[in-house]
Structure 1
């Protein structure tokens, strides 16, 4: 049965949680957490690497012991250490760990004090006011637990896009191997490249649907067949993701792809436009009375109702149909448009590779400049740099640049924005840098007014270049900060600084709708990898997906500029006192 990186990562996370509850060595716990992150984000299939007898230790944070466990998981589907930990602990512990915001230590404290066995029992204990009485909790924490559990119990399961890809791609490959198939495409929110996916819609063209249907329900990862007909079927996979399959005739493929890709609002608006032309549009084609006049391709469907083809990422009914009618659709940013990356970490803080290794990896991926932005000293868990260490790094970057060809390293820092809006390092060292990336890493729960003023004050610092991951969200893990992004975006315009679209698949922050707002305000967005290792530059494609959903074009993206074009846009004091004008044209 196929093994996905996400499944290995989930096992390592659970091991880390259970070890932490037991009070095991924190370095051992951290090793499993780091391994989970590395494996989950790694761009190549671990199962494939094992099959090809490749060295698993090229994955950051993986040594002989963890590599052995990965091979054990691949061979048996389980891990002996995790089985032992489960046997040593109450079964309720694992279920309570599913509640967002309840870490291992709090789960153990609640279980030991209140003897709750299920999430429902935890919910009842919180509603009865019993949790606030425990040491280290209180009324506010208890209220948060109630809200979180209620959201957990009522929300439908969604999957981060990068995780959904791990399951969609092998399934599509499996279906493509069916004799007689012509096209196999994942539609829906997956094709629109939404940050999260609820289920998968797969369309197949084939003259004979029977072999496709048979192969689909026999896929190795099928947990349950929900329904099966002549041309339609639904299954759930082992990870609880639902997959709906439809086999359509080639003459209807384009119409079906339009129908199953667009959001509900987009499709309703499409039908209204069709009605204005005296036409009917559905998943089988575009019809004038009973005659199909289009449907084989998406382009033919849009053309039949007087529109140009609309990129899948835009099909959310956020103005794309009006723009299409007016011939003002954006020419969306492409991965090949990026010239550099302005947010990356090295082994000097919490990264895995040296500056030189990172530079060479970025160059291999077609980038011509890379900003080294290790953490500042306040983020102690990341071994952040103080003034002295940063000064030494500045000198080291100068030495590397003297011999490095094909790419330029920029001097930078990811400096913490403190609770009062000041920056973690003094201006005296920040003025020596090419780029200063400011970030919130603490006090996420500040009230809206305080959180907003905190960020606005930081942006007023003349050394400030880019606001990193502006809302602090971790998709499906941590909600965005309560912050007034309209004011933040307008402050960026006033101060002449920029906003980041962090391409890490757990962040994708700035989100698409705010990218569209930044574009409207003339604010440049920097699509950065936030790379912590040489393989992480591959995450830039996820940032491009989100940017395209936010209508961003090459001219809207800061790091789509050449280095010469970039420098005046990130220049600090005294030039920062005046707003930095947006470039309207760029060199090719």
Structure 2
């Protein structure tokens, strides 16, 4: 249990209460408790008694104690059972918050997007206090956009589901080995469903365990070779489990990883040799079937190196096989240059993040909490920033084999100025500049803001350069060719933000940056120790753009990194 999980749970309880039409003072109490925790710079382990914190009352204290003791909230479970699940997707509609949705539910019986659409078309919504004809028109427009959304789900929505299923399969002694497959394994930004290849001789036992353990909305199929279910989550997720024999594992994994075009090319290669590829193996001209211990052996049979799943597009991977061994790997990452602690909106302290980074085998990393403009994230003033530096230096004294640099993620303000003066920036080791506000400004204004940051001698990197959230927010539409040209001109780094919400820069922009000779840093933007795992997603995504080790800043030695960050001081 960590502070961030408690904060999210309190906020979720407040939201569910609001949707249920609960007393506003009760809703406010949970939000105040969450804000009190958010504003405290200590991590959970550093607090003697979190329930004694100012802003936390008896009711919220009981929920926190329940969370710490059991790892879950009985109150939240109760609310989740009461509040109609169809109300939750409505929160994604612009202009509809918890209060308005509660009113629609209580007075018109709205419990889904379908019933809201029907009420708007019947002109019933405009009759409610606080709503109008224009509101109805706007809701109908947004519902139409909502309905036209791709059936594919974003990687950030699927990643925690994959982790949970991996933990479940890993706990089953009857499962010999398994792997996620499909477009998720290829590090695609979106997927229609999740695929798993599972090796087991105890099909019936594994099938029953899966059906019993998963929260299922619908069982589509439950045979001896395939189990297909729809998980009953906030947004339903389809999952296919392919149950195979160990000898079939490599070819089944390759087949169901895809892509379709990659598999077509592989079948063409096999056909030219008088062979046929299927999910069961490679059939020879005499009818015998070859099987393989793993995918590497499968590719080797065709005189190919192992082709990472991220590259399996059916386009360039067969023409660039000599470059595959040069692609950046997770083992070559020695640092993470973008993360947050309890000083701003992170879940863990400087020391806790440092220990976690060291445990990953990194040589160095940078603490980059938010700057003062971002009040919603408890951004640091110059005074707090200098106090944090003292804490970072104390950590370094106790860890001679690992080094934490003192940095900031500084906002580029709407008026084009930077959140800190140069007198502050020159005292820091590493400065990130990023945009978190006024996304709807014209491209010229956005570019002027970015240009100001890139021209500053103390700024080292632009974070999440487009501001996009996959399948949710387009971002602020910078002129990427110009941004990359400026980054090259001023000697700056551009980030591949590995948080699965972002993956920003995208593949196209990564290819443009590399072609221009602009260095890229793959960073997790971690707000929690658990988020450090995003580095794996970032590296796999970077492979899609054929990024090599020498292009990635956080493969540099500490000496190389220091030479870069000290050059303007």
Contact 1:259 1:267 in 2 (8 A): yes
Give the paired residue count.
Answer: 541
CA 1:189 to 1:458, structure 2 compared with 1: closer, same or farther past 3 Å? same
Confirm whether residue 319 of structure 1 aligns to residue 313 of structure 2: no
Confirm whether residue 443 of structure 1 aligns to residue 445 of structure 2: no
Among 293, 296, 300, the alignment partner of 1:299 is 296
* Residues 419-458 of structure 1 aligned to structure 2 (within 5 Å): 419-458=414-453
| 1:255 aligned partner | 251
Among 63, 66, 86, the alignment partner of 1:65 is 63
The offset of 1:80, in angstroms, is 3.5
- 1:452-502 deviation per Cα after TM superposition (whole angstroms, max 9, x unaligned): 443244222222211112232334554444333343233322221112223
When normalised by structure 2's length, the TM-score is: 0.79
| 1:522 aligned partner | 517
| 1:495 aligned partner | 490
Contact 1:387 1:425 in 2 (8 A): yes
Counterpart Cα distance in 2 of 1:213 and 1:84: 31
Unaligned runs of 5+ in 1: 1-5, 37-41, 43-54, 575-588
Confirm whether residue 284 of structure 1 aligns to residue 267 of structure 2: no
Contact 1:415 1:423 in 2 (8 A): yes
| 2:264 aligned partner | 268
The offset of 1:355, in angstroms, is 3.3
Counterpart Cα distance in 2 of 1:391 and 1:35: 22
Counterpart Cα distance in 1 of 2:505 and 2:461: 12
| 2:182 aligned partner | 188
* Residues 59-458 of structure 1 aligned to structure 2 (within 5 Å): 65-69=63-67, 79-80=74-75, 83=78, 94=88, 96-97=90-91, 99=93, 102-105=96-99, 107=101, 118-123=112-117, 146-147=141-142, 149-152=144-147, 154-156=149-151, 158=153, 160-173=157-170, 176-178=172-174, 182-206=176-200, 212-213=206-207, 216-217=210-211, 219=213, 221-239=215-233, 240-289=236-285, 291-292=287-288, 294-296=290-292, 297-324=294-321, 327-394=322-389, 397-398=392-393, 401=396, 404-458=399-453
Confirm whether residue 29 of structure 1 aligns to residue 31 of structure 2: yes
The offset of 1:547, in angstroms, is 3.0
User: Equivalent residue of 1:291, what SS?
Assistant: coil
| 1:580 aligned partner | none
State the superposition RMSD in angstroms. 4.3
Unaligned runs of 5+ in 2: 39-43
Among 465, 471, 480, the alignment partner of 2:460 is 465
CA 1:443 to 1:277, structure 2 compared with 1: closer, same or farther past 3 Å? farther
Contact 1:16 1:32 in 2 (8 A): no
The offset of 1:400, in angstroms, is 5.4
Contact 2:262 2:314 in 1 (8 A): yes
The offset of 1:565, in angstroms, is 0.1
When normalised by structure 1's length, the TM-score is: 0.77
Contact 1:97 1:103 in 2 (8 A): yes
Counterpart Cα distance in 2 of 1:388 and 1:515: 36
